[in-house]
Amino acid sequence: MRTRLTTILWILTALLISGFLAGPAAAAAPAAGDRLAISGLVTNPMGKGLKEAEIEVLVNGQHLKPVGKEAEIVTGKPGGYVADFILPPGTLPGAKVEVKAAKPSWKPVPPTTVKVVEAGKDAQGNRLFQAYQKLTMERKITAGFWIATLVLLLVYLVISFEWMHRTLVSFLGAALIIFITYTLGHWDKSFYIISFDDAMGAIDLNVIFLLMGMMLFVGVMKKTGMFQFLAYKAYALARGNVFILSLVLQIITAVVSAFLDNVTTMLLVLPVTIEIAVTLKINPLVLLIPEAFASNVGGTATLIGDPPNILIGSYAALTFGQFVQNLSLICAVSLVTSSFFFLWWHKKAYLGAEVKDVPRTIEYLKEQYQITNKKLMNLGLFLLAFAILFFILGGVLHLPVAIPALVGSLLLLAISGEDIVEMLEKEVEWPTLVFFIGLFMVIAGAEETGLIQVIANFVKDVSKGNLTAAIVIILWVSAIASAFIDNIPFTATMLPIIAFLNQTIPGAESGVLWWSLSLGACLGGNGTMIGASANVVTVGLAEKAGYHISFVDYMKACWWPMMITVSICMVYLLIAY
């Protein structure tokens, strides 16, 4: 019995082994017939490859299925496609071979005849043929285009009038366009907006992690008392002269904002400024508004100082050094100009300050605002210098700015002994990060459906391809728009537009249009209290402390210095480039 069972097992094993060996052998033997390999590229009118375009190959008008399990041919990320086919022997080269393409929000490419070239024979004697065809697709206005446009406009409108928290509205907008894509877009391709994968790919993690790293860094540095100490030093340096005090506070705020984001800078200097203003018996807003203005000007000078610059730098692969080289000088000139404007504008309030017993006040501030952890402060400054060094070297090393920001902040966090969970909960502004994530997806939906290209073509037509006209238009449109809507979503919308114009306007390859966008969005945001996040934070916290200012009064104080600084920037751009 055991011998019979052993024999059966051997027979089964032999059959299984022979089956495994015979399978690959059978699969390796290709069917007889003509072999056709077709490859090509699908691009937009600017020559940029289009991914996820569906390609169909026709032979004598009949659909041809590619070798393998794929039911259709889809272009990859660079826009390329390749497929192999088997035809009955003798079909080629006499048959008519055509290729056509289709993609939502694009006009389909009708069947296009391709030239087939014989390339020899394979080992089995089958004839080999090759063909290459490049296809160009034009945009098409679809229902998805109008939906994406409406969602983007509603996001702007709700953010501008603060009808809903900007994080909620941006993320809701992103969820809606993806939902519509997979529901209405499933039955009718004209409603297709953006796939889930493409929406996820649109999230710029370089921006997200850079902001997170700087938030963690500031969270630790706040505990050292360094920022409050700087405000005390400003008062001590002024020695009771309110004009000098305001000027020093603006300069300190601008310099700090160049290396930290301007919102964080205002959050740190605002409580101390109010304390000093109360001591002088003046309205804190006559010091805070110039500081908020200076924070936006100083933040414009570097890659990491203002959120619009972070977006521009990451999208256009611009380095920290390029921002400093192209913008620091004009920002310094703008800062001097705006500072003296505010000294004149608030002259009456400054002259009315009660400056009594300056030495005693300085001593009081010295006791109140001391460095509480000098060792940690020095370590933090060292790691900040380390991060900035690699921001500068990033262009050479091709290192994303988020990496040194994370390394520096996480090392500081580890050495300081702070609780990571507590820091993530209290110091990282998750609503801001989620706002950016939602915004990236909404903008991507507008780009996928063609809205961004329509706007870019409009700017190109208005400027008539003239670089000078384009510089002026982008600068002033950015400035005026950013004064009335948040400059962050506006900048995000403009990024692909500027990229398009850089390819179509002669001379734009110098990058001048990026600097026009940066200066317009960052400095234009100074025009009103809702134009930049730093302004909103400043007005909100001042009001919480009992000092209210109306929209009109804020605009009276800031509109003209905004116009003056943007005009100076226009002259600079036209002369320098």
| Residues 6 or more apart in contact with residue 201 via CB below 8 angstroms | none
Print the SS3 string covering 278-310: HHHCCCCHHHHHHHHHHHHHHHCCCCCCCHHHH
| Residues 251 and 299 sit within 8 Å (Cβ to Cβ) | no
| Residues 6 or more apart in contact with residue 549 via CB below 8 angstroms | 285, 289, 529, 539, 542, 543
| Residues 6 or more apart in contact with residue 575 via CB below 8 angstroms | none
- Tokens 């992690």 belong to residue: 209
CB atoms within 10 A of CB 563: 18
User: What total number of domains does the chain contain?
Assistant: 1
| Residues 300 and 306 sit within 8 Å (Cβ to Cβ) | yes
511: in domain? no
149: in domain? no
Local structure of residue 90 (DSSP, 8 states): T
Q: Which of 110-124, 231-245, 415-429 has the lowest mean pLDDT?
A: 231-245
* DSSP 3-state percent helix, strand, coil across the chain (nearest 5): 65, 10, 25
| Residues 534 and 295 sit within 8 Å (Cβ to Cβ) | yes
Give the CA dihedral 438, 441, 447, 449, nearest 10 degrees.
-110
Range of the structural domain that residue 75 is part of: 34-136
DSSP assignment of 95-133, as one string?
Answer: S-EEEEEE-TTBPPEEEEE--EEEEEE-TTS-EEEEEEE
State how far the Cα of 295 lies from the Cα of 290, in Å rounded to an integer: 9
Chain centroid, CA 381 distance in Å: 27
| Residues 6 or more apart in contact with residue 452 via CB below 8 angstroms | 443, 446, 493, 496, 497, 500
Residue 92 vs residues 59, 104, 125, 127, 233: alpha-carbon distances, Å: 10, 33, 15, 9, 85
| Residues 6 or more apart in contact with residue 290 via CB below 8 angstroms | 246, 249, 250, 338, 339, 342, 346
State how far the Cα of 354 lies from the Cα of 93, in Å rounded to an integer: 96
Chain centroid, CA 431 distance in Å: 16
DSSP H/E element including 190: none
Q: What's the token pair of residue 550?
A: 């109306």
User: pTM for the full model?
Assistant: 0.72
> Does pLDDT of 380 surpass 50?
yes
Q: What mean pLDDT, rounded, does the chain reach?
A: 84
> Does pLDDT of 10 surpass 50?
no
Q: Which of 512, 507, 503, 440 is nearest to 474 (CA)?
A: 512
Q: What's the token pair of residue 442?
A: 């909404």
18: in domain? no
Question: What per-residue confidence (pLDDT) applies to 486?
Answer: 66
Question: What per-residue confidence (pLDDT) applies to 16?
Answer: 46
207: in domain? no
Q: What's the token pair of residue 331?
A: 């920002």
Mean pLDDT of the 297-325 span: 89
State how far the Cα of 566 lies from the Cα of 540, in Å rounded to an integer: 26
Q: Up-side HSE of residue 280: CA atoms within 13 Å toward CB?
A: 28
Residue 446 vs residues 192, 196, 222, 460: alpha-carbon distances, Å: 12, 14, 39, 18
| Residues 418 and 218 sit within 8 Å (Cβ to Cβ) | no
214: amino acid identity, one letter:
M
The band of 17, judged by pLDDT with boundaries at 50, 70 and 90, is very low
> Does pLDDT of 264 surpass 90?
no
Mean pLDDT of the 120-134 span: 87
State how far the Cα of 173 lies from the Cα of 435, in Å rounded to an integer: 11
Residue 537 vs residues 44, 209, 229, 339, 533: alpha-carbon distances, Å: 42, 22, 21, 20, 6
Residues in the chain: 577
- Each residue of 430-484: pLDDT tens digit? 887 888 888 889 888 988 888 877 777 777 788 888 899 999 999 998 898 888 7
Q: What angle do CA 30, 32, 35 make, to 5 degrees?
A: 85
56: in domain? yes
431: amino acid identity, one letter:
P
Question: What per-residue confidence (pLDDT) applies to 18?
Answer: 45
Q: Which of 325, 229, 314 is nearest to 269 (CA)?
A: 229
- Each residue of 153-192: pLDDT tens digit? 898 788 777 788 878 988 999 999 999 999 999 999 899 9
Question: What per-residue confidence (pLDDT) applies to 30?
Answer: 53
5: in domain? no
> Does pLDDT of 14 surpass 70?
no
Q: What's the token pair of residue 465?
A: 């391809």
Q: Which of 146, 254, 320 is nearest to 565 (CA)?
A: 254
> Does pLDDT of 132 surpass 90?
yes
53: in domain? yes
- Each residue of 535-563: pLDDT tens digit? 877 887 787 778 888 878 888 999 999 99
230: amino acid identity, one letter:
L
Question: What per-residue confidence (pLDDT) applies to 25?
Answer: 42
**CATH code, 104:** 2.60.130.10
> Does pLDDT of 9 surpass 60?
no
Indicate if the alpha-carbon torsion angle 288, 293, 295, 296 is positive or negative: positive
Q: What's the token pair of residue 254?
A: 């601008």
Q: Which of 42-51, 54-63, 239-248, 251-260 has the lowest mean pLDDT?
A: 42-51
Per DSSP, what are the bridge partners of residue 164?
A: none
- Each residue of 57-83: pLDDT tens digit? 999 988 888 887 556 788 987 889 998
98: in domain? yes
The answer, yes or no, to whether the previous bond of 93 is cis (omega within 30 of 0) is yes
Question: What per-residue confidence (pLDDT) applies to 12?
Answer: 47
DSSP H/E element including 399: none
DSSP H/E element including 346: none
CB atoms within 10 A of CB 485: 20
